[in-house]
Amino acid sequence: EQQGINKGYKTSIRDDWYVIPSIKISDALFLRRNNLYPKFVLNDAQAYTTDTMHRVFIKEGVNREAFVVSYYNSLSFAFAEILGRNFGGGVLELMPSEVEGVYLPYREENAKLFEKVDQMVRDKKTADEILDFTDKEMLQKGMGFFETETKMARSIWYKLMGRRLNRETLEKAVPEEKGEIKKTVARVKQLNFFDVLQQYPENIVENAPVVQPAKKQDPDGKWIKTCSSA
């Protein structure tokens, strides 16, 4: 107080100026602003975060690794593009309420994919390489989607991302992805995102998993909405 620190803007609006508010360690972190696609990471390091990332608290009984890895698929990426906002330079921003609107094809069996996807991200594999693997495992094998449907979901994501990113941003993209993004955006015409989901209306739920009765697959196939974020 002798140095006047308590009179600064941030400290002056606190109940106790010397107490940092809302210090919580979350189960996972979702990046607020992104380029090609938003990142969703498991917080095994028990790290604190600033407002550059959203804190995600996963419901008790939900497998954390399965939950986080379930985000990495073309449909969830497309949901992120639909719900997010576009800033200058093509930056995609998602606020907490928008993150909560991203649906995940959650199944406990997805946990076995976590280490593979984690390593692919760390090795800087392209989004296409990651999605080729996860779309097949999660959407086709796990949720019973046809290959044509997963390809449509990928094309929808490309189209929405391409609309957001301008030429300058695309030129700065990872070289391996840049050519494929341009090529795909150029050939995709009109696509209706919800056509993919019309035959799965019972899967789309808010904040609770449901049994997936459609198509032949494991009985615990579910869609689950991302849990509370802050």
Q: What is the pLDDT of residues 127-181, one digit of tens each?
A: 999 999 999 999 999 999 999 999 999 988 988 888 887 655 555 554 555 555 5
18-48 residue pLDDT tens: 777 767 788 888 888 888 888 899 988 888 7
Question: What is the per-residue pLDDT for 175?
Answer: 54
**Contacts for 110-117 with beta carbons within 8 Å, 24 or more apart?**
110/63, 110/65, 110/66, 110/69, 110/70, 110/137, 110/138, 110/142, 111/63, 111/65, 111/66, 111/69, 113/69, 113/137, 113/138, 114/42, 114/65, 114/66, 114/68, 114/69, 117/69, 117/72
CA distance 230 to 37: 20
- Tokens (6 digits) for 39: 């990142």
63-95 residue pLDDT tens: 999 999 999 999 999 999 988 888 777 888 888
Query: Would you report the helix, strand and coil content of the chain in percent, each value rounded to 5?
Result: 45, 10, 45
β partners of residue 82: none
Q: What is the mean pLDDT of residues 89-111?
A: 87
